[in-house]
Amino acid sequence: MDKFDFVKRKTTLFLQKNRKYLISVLFLAIVASSVFLSEKNSLVNQSAVVPSDLLRKVQLGAFPIVEPTIKYGFVLDTFQVQEGEVKPNETIGELLLANGFSGNDVVTLAEKSKEVYDLVRNFRVGRNYLFLTRRGEEKPCYFVYEPNVFEYVTVNLENGLEVRKTERPVEVKESVLHGQINSSLWVAIEETGASMEVAAKMEDALETSVDFSHVKVGDEFKLVYDEKYIAGKRVGVGNVHAAYYKQADSGKEHYVFWFDGGGDHVGYYDQEGRPMKGRFLKAPVKYTRISSRYNPRRFHPVLKRVRPHLGTDYAAPTGTPIYAVGNGVVVARGYTRGNGNYIKIKHDRVYQTQYLHMSRFAKGIKKGSHVSQGQVIGYVGSTGLATGPHVCFRFWKNGRQVNHLREYFPPSKPLPDELLPQFFKVRDVYMEKLKAVDSLTWQDETAP
């Protein structure tokens, strides 16, 4: 056997014996080169794009390949990552200057971001951000800001400070909820495992038929509603399709169904197709309680003498939003020693409402402002003659203060006859879903 044949034979035996090892090394080399090329390509495309088949965790013999960290469209493992949270009074300009950028860069970014997402005006305390810097370099090449869970903003710090906003894909799933009041609506919602956003949505749907400031033990509720998910994580509540509420003391049942008939025929309707949006809301604040009722001979807790209380007090934490109970025009906004910060709204020639003891007024609300039903006009406080945070709600009819809880307002007109068959189909579908609920804390099994 000559020398050439001997070397050839030894090489063949080595390759056969170490085939798995050589394949592992070769695969690692392919992955490394792919990531390198993707990172290089990100100079143009603003993000390192990695083929999906390379993102899986692969095990070859004794050599594991760890799945890279992908976030905001970048392979974070290929960068030096500087994460942060916006501090009080901190600006994006200060962050850029601290990371080696000039004042001209800050001005350029401010101008360019206006077209996509105004980073100067919308830079909020507590929001997350990060700088990405290539390994071995000092100056960041990307900046990412996350204003909310639904989107993020990317700035290419190398390519002319280009700004891009990316919306995360949202998956919507239908859920069903069933609960019973044992102490308060808040506690009942918490017991089901749902969020307070669900309570707010339910109150929006039923606000003209149920007084949620006066719930009682034994009251029952059901909902069919949408929940929003991003990457399998619950991030919010969507539309309420149907809601049911049964009052324990009277046994009265309330049903509402969302229906879109086009034009002006969009909103919540009862079983017969009558709009649920009444003339006035039941209360100016949500999920709260009545702390003092309309009483012509009430003993005043501050003045220590009998004095008529011609309004209804709703106790709520300071800062709780106060809503206009109906459409109208603000005819007074001011402060007095007794009323504190207050607003008065004229709804028409017959009705006016007043809201007292506010901690502050909502932005843009002033005398002459037109407001719509459900619009925030101020926030609960304890200004003026008040022993604690609440809103004193007063209701005028033909210039005379009355107890709004005893007023009768005629129901709205039903849907036109041509839309009723379409509405009844929607109603029947969701009626069956409400009836199918047989557990106090059941949610749709398809939800992750």
**pLDDT tens digits for range 387-415:** 889 999 999 999 999 988 888 777 667 89
Question: 18-24 contacts: CB < 8 A, separation 24 or more?
Answer: 20/60, 20/61, 21/61, 23/60, 24/60, 24/61, 24/62, 24/63
What does the alpha-carbon distance between residue 283 and residue 315 come to, in Å, rounded to a whole number? 12
Q: Residue 206: what pLDDT?
A: 87
Domains and CATH numbers, the chain: 16-168 (3.10.450.350), 171-278+416-435 (3.10.450.350), 289-406 (2.70.70.10)
Give the residue among 145, 143, 168 at the shortest CA–CA distance from 81. Answer: 143
Whether 313 and 391 have beta carbons less than 8 Å apart is answered as yes
DSSP string across 136-173? T-SS-SEEEEEEETTEEEEEETTTTTEEEEEEPP-EEE
**pLDDT tens digits for range 162-215:** 999 999 999 999 999 999 998 888 788 888 888 888 888 888 888 778 878 778
Q: Residue 131: what pLDDT?
A: 96
Half-sphere exposure of 190 (CA within 13 A, CB side): 6
Q: Is 280 helix (H, G, I), strand (E, B) or coil?
A: coil
Question: 248-251 contacts: CB < 8 A, separation 24 or more?
Answer: 248/181, 248/216, 248/217, 248/218, 248/219, 248/220, 249/216, 249/218
Whether this prediction's pTM lies above 0.85 is answered by no
| Cβ burial, residue 380 (10 Å; 0-12/13-18/19+) | buried
**pLDDT tens digits for range 309-328:** 778 899 889 999 999 998 99
Give every strand in the sheet of 233-246, ordered side by side: 171-180, 220-230, 233-246, 253-260, 266-269
Residue owning tokens 């970014």? 109
How remote is the C-alpha of 159 from its chain's centroid?
34
Q: Is 351 helix (H, G, I), strand (E, B) or coil?
A: strand
Give the burial string for 384-400 (b: 16+ CB within 10 Å, else e). bbbeebbbbbbbbeeee
What does the alpha-carbon distance between residue 444 and residue 256 come to, in Å, rounded to a whole number? 20
